[in-house]
Amino acid sequence: MSRAGTQAAIGAAMGAGGLLPDRMRQGDFFVCDIFDAIPKDDIASMEHPIFSLATRPDPRILDYEHNGARITVTPSVRGLATIHDKDILIFCISQLMAALNAGRQVSRTVHLKAHDLLTATNRETSGDAYRRLREAFERLAGTRITTNIVTGETETTTGFGLIEGWEIVRKTRGGRMVSVAVTLSDWLYRAVLSKSVLTLSRDYFRLRKPLERRIYELARKHCGRQPSWTVSVETLLKKSGSASPRRVFRKMLRDMIEAGHLPDYEMVEEPGDLIRFAPRGGLVESAARPPVLSKQALDEARRLMPGRDVYALEADWRGVWARSGAPRLRKPDAAFLGWVRKRAE
């Protein structure tokens, strides 16, 4: 099975720290046995607040308007889906993307092993965790959205749930949750098919604070690979979907800056009630400028490793570059492509 090699290569490249054990399975389902999928997130939901940051059932109806996009999010009586519930979507999307990248047939219904989901999203596997997983499914299915966001080439104006349906397949004895069939909403599914997804840091699942997760998403979406992204606290508050007053929100941001464990990005407060995000990496070696890659090099990398997120590759490579003492590169493109080729084998 050729995937074993791929997994080993990725495992080695990602570094040993906390990497999940090899739990490949021989399966008939085309999506479930791909465990090494890089976490993907849906771009539309990253840009607009859909998920609740609250730590208790959130009955609010969210209305949001930004650059002509309107979203109304209506919770069920169980409350809005939380940002933790989103882990399930991220997992599903990652499975779909992995299947797409492997050239397999995909459908809106994703079959997954509950245990895989829990371990992949850095959770425990206690009975309580399964119970909460179940509640998360219910919140996801119960949260209705009305939007005119365009994903792929279609503009959706109708209402739908975050997931359309889910089914737990239990073993007859013991009542254990063995596998789950999740049917994604059409909107999400189209987003995946059109590949409007971004790679998340694996450390995302280690973020505990809901607000930290949300802020990371926003930074990933808006800052991306740019040298920096500056945003007002006010706008950040609006984009995050936090229900806190601005002064409390600002305090939260300051606490986050203090803690400093936002993956990939550095956060700084600037005069005028602004927050600036900048990608980490070249920051340690500020004397040396990080190598700039041409678009051609990225295209070539895409060709060498089809299906992989080249920006993630670039970020990994920059990390390697920074760790090796940030040497000055005469031909960064060639160095990068050499590294990619080696990795593609």
Partner DNA sequence: CCTCTAGGACCCCAAGTCCA
Partner DNA sequence: TGGACTTGGGGTCCTAGAGG
Of the pair 261, 289, the CB lying nearest DNA is at 261
Minimum CB distance to DNA, residue 20 (Å): 10
Using the rule CB under 7 A, give the single segment among 62-70, 203-211, 313-321, 322-330 that binds DNA: 203-211
97, 106, 252, 253: which one contacts DNA (CB under 7 A)? 252
Minimum CB distance to DNA, residue 248 (Å): 6
Tokens of 53: 């940051």
16, 173, 258, 286: which one contacts DNA (CB under 7 A)? 173
3, 66, 225, 251: which one contacts DNA (CB under 7 A)? 251
Q: Is 54 in the site for DNA (CB under 7 A)?
A: yes
Minimum CB distance to DNA, residue 245 (Å): 8
107, 125, 158, 194: which one contacts DNA (CB under 7 A)? 125
Q: Is 130 in the site for DNA (CB under 7 A)?
A: yes
Minimum CB distance to DNA, residue 59 (Å): 9
66, 107, 126, 157: which one contacts DNA (CB under 7 A)? 126
Minimum CB distance to DNA, residue 92 (Å): 17
x/- track of binding to DNA for residues 23-42 (CB under 7 A): x-------------------
Size of the site for DNA (CB under 7 A): 42
Residues that bind DNA (CB under 7 A): 21, 23, 53-57, 82, 84, 113-115, 122-130, 132, 135, 171, 173-178, 208-212, 242-244, 247-248, 251-252
